[in-house]
Amino acid sequence: MLLDRHGYAPTPHTDTPGAPPTLPALGVDSISAVITRHLSGQPVRYRTRSRTTASGDPAPTPEPEPIVEIELSRDYYEIGTAARRRDAELLADVDDRLDAVLAHMDDWLTRTDALIADTLGARTT
């Protein structure tokens, strides 16, 4: 069985069209090396990626992505607080409803306990 570097055994679905690519799996030697270093109290060594190409030239530095400024509505604060106020009003009676449910459950359990006691009392007499 092969595990990826996070200890997960990926299912072999890399050939499925449209499936996301999986990380390369670790073999027995790699897993053994990780466990050995862990048991000896040493950190796992990660290989650093080479900054050179196959021809030995330095790899090109990628162009930084342009910063896209997002224009927010000036009313975002009022919209957010109005939504939270509306949600608070909708949830205002939740405590009362839950208290009513608990009271109903206590009543139901009391009646059930009385029924069981009556049934057991009738059997012993």
For 78-116, what is each residue's pLDDT tens digit?
A: 888 999 999 999 999 999 999 999 999 999 999 999 999
Length reported for the chain: 125
Residue 26: phi and psi, rounded to 5, are -90, 140
Q: Which of 26, 46, 66 is the last residue of a domain?
A: 46
Domain contains 83: no
Contact call for residues 2 and 24 (beta carbons, < 8 A)? no
Domain contains 54: no
pTM for this entry: 0.34
Query: How many domains are there within the chain?
Result: 2
Q: Which of 9, 27, 46 is the last residue of a domain?
A: 46
Higher pLDDT, 94 or 28: 94
Domain contains 66: no
Residue with tokens 């009543």: 107
Domain contains 117: yes
Q: Which of 12, 28, 46 is the last residue of a domain?
A: 46
**Rounded CA gap, 56 and 53, in Å?**
5
Residue 25: CB atoms within 10 Å: 16
- Sign of the dihedral through C-alpha 97, 99, 104, 109: positive
pLDDT band at 34 (very low <50, low <70, confident <90, very high): confident
